Every structure is written in structure tokens, then in C-alpha cells.
Amino acid sequence: MQKPTRIAPSILSADFAKLGEEVRAIDDAGADYIHVDVMDGHFVPNITIGPDVVKALRPHSKKIFDVHLMITPTGPYIEAFVDAGADIITAHIESGPHAHRTIQAIKAAGVKAGISLNPSTPESTIDYLYEELDLILVMSVNPGFGGQSFISSQLRKLEAIRKRIDSLGLDIDLQVDGGVNTVTAPQVVSAGADLLVAGSATFKGGPSKYAENIMALRG
């Protein structure tokens, strides 16, 4: 069942020179999850942060650390992110041939497991994973950078996945990431998403605006 809309600000759009402060600010402003984008310059054409940064940020918030891995391979790094304080680890279905094994490894490490789909990846690729999942992340931009435009074909994918989650009667967060703003947020929510990642739309205007920005996205 679709839950009330929750917002996961992506710290990719934060001021990297003061990340701890930024995490505290979005926590105070009402963020539900803290979304951490991990990129390796290989699976995606950008390099961001690793487990040491997650560990350094951990004391700054008690909220759920939602770690989105855009790396390949994923397996060798799961434990490091769990030790660093991740609460949910999401891997990409495209990051290797053994998604089921990756999900099992994430859960065996003691945290919640998510799977993410790039815009061109059909929802059928995750059909045999639903029972294992805590979160499904539909990318509504090509992963790699913040501030890109929402790809509207992903609304159909959200609808299909929402139907599947509900027909199986499972408790899975349906997350969407990329180009979520006050125009696209209502669209993704009506397509079935209940966990919205927002980078630029959260951080625009600086810390004094974060609460207002998050509230506007929640609708």
C-alpha cells in the first residue's frame, strides 16, 4: 500500500565544504531519510563519496541513511557502508549479473535492501526480486548528476511497480530519484511513489529555505 509521502533530500546538492552542517540542517527541516549518492566514475560518469564520508556524517543525524550505490561491482563495498552507518543500501540492477545475491548480501549484513532501475531498464527485470526487497528506486534521470530534467516515461514504470507491490501485498518503499520538484512531485505521487528523493529542489535557496522546500515537495 502506498504510504504517506516522505522526502529524502539528496546530499549531492549540499555544500560539500560543510556536509555535517548540511545534514543537520535538512534533519531539522523535516527530511525523512538522508539520501547519499555514491558514484564510482565507472558505473556512472561522476565520482562522489565513499564509506569514510558516510561514517563522518553518521553522528550528525539519527534519521535513516539511505545509501544509493551507483557503483560496480557492489558486493565488495556492502560491508564498509554498513559499518559506516547505512540503514538502507540500494544497488543497481544493471551493476552486475547477480542482483539476487547482492540483495541477499545486503540483508545478511543487517540492513534493508533496495534495487534501483535506470530509465531504460524495464520493470520486468526485478520481477523475481520483490519478495526480497525493502525498497525499489525508479531513476527518473540517468544517474550521475543532480539538477537534470525529469524523464516522464518513468511515470508508467512507477504505476506498473506500484500495481505489482500492491498485488503481492508487500511492504516496499517505492522511491523515485531525479528531477523531482514541486511540478513533478504530485505526478510521481499519483503514479504510486511514496518516497521522493530531491537534491536541487531541497537545497535551493540555502538553509533558511530547506523546511519550506521540503514541505512544498511533500504536498
Backbone angles phi, psi at 114, to 5 degrees: -125, 160
Q: Does 173 bind Zn ion (CB under 5 A)?
A: no
Residues 10-29 that bind Zn ion (CB under 5 A): none
C-alpha cell at 174: 517505492
Q: Which is nearer to ligand DX5, 99 or 188 (CB)?
A: 188
Closest CA to 1 of 164, 136, 186: 164
Q: Smallest distance, Å, CB 151 to ligand DX5?
A: 11
Q: What is the CA radius of gyration of the chain?
A: 16
Q: Smallest distance, Å, CB 132 to ligand DX5?
A: 22
Closest CA to 177 of 76, 67, 84: 67
Burial per residue of 103-138, b for 16 or more beta-carbon CB atoms within 10 angstroms, e otherwise: bebbbebebbbbbbbbeebebeebeebbebbbbbbb
**Is 37 labeled as catalytic in the residue annotation?**
yes
114: β partners: 90, 135
Q: Smallest distance, Å, CB 206 to ligand DX5?
A: 15
Q: Does 147 bind ligand DX5 (CB under 6 A)?
A: yes
Q: Does 177 bind Zn ion (CB under 5 A)?
A: yes
Q: Does 173 bind ligand DX5 (CB under 6 A)?
A: no
Q: Which is nearer to ligand DX5, 102 or 140 (CB)?
A: 140
Q: Which is nearer to Zn ion, 85 or 178 (CB)?
A: 178
144 binds, among Zn ion, ligand DX5, none (CB under 5 to 8 A by kind): ligand DX5
Q: Is 197 helix (H, G, I), strand (E, B) or coil?
A: strand
Q: How far is CA 112 from the centre of its chain?
A: 12
Which residues, including other chains, have CB under 8 Å from residue 94's CB and lie 6 or more apart? 43, 117, 118, 121
- Out of 14, 195, 199, 217, point to the residue binding ligand DX5 (CB under 6 A): 199
Q: Does 66 bind Zn ion (CB under 5 A)?
A: no
Q: Does 114 bind ligand DX5 (CB under 6 A)?
A: no
Given 32, 37, 66, 194, which residue is catalytic? 37
Binding site for ligand DX5 (CB under 6 A): 10, 12-13, 35, 37, 68, 141, 143-144, 146-148, 177-180, 197-201
Point out the residues that are catalytic: 37, 177
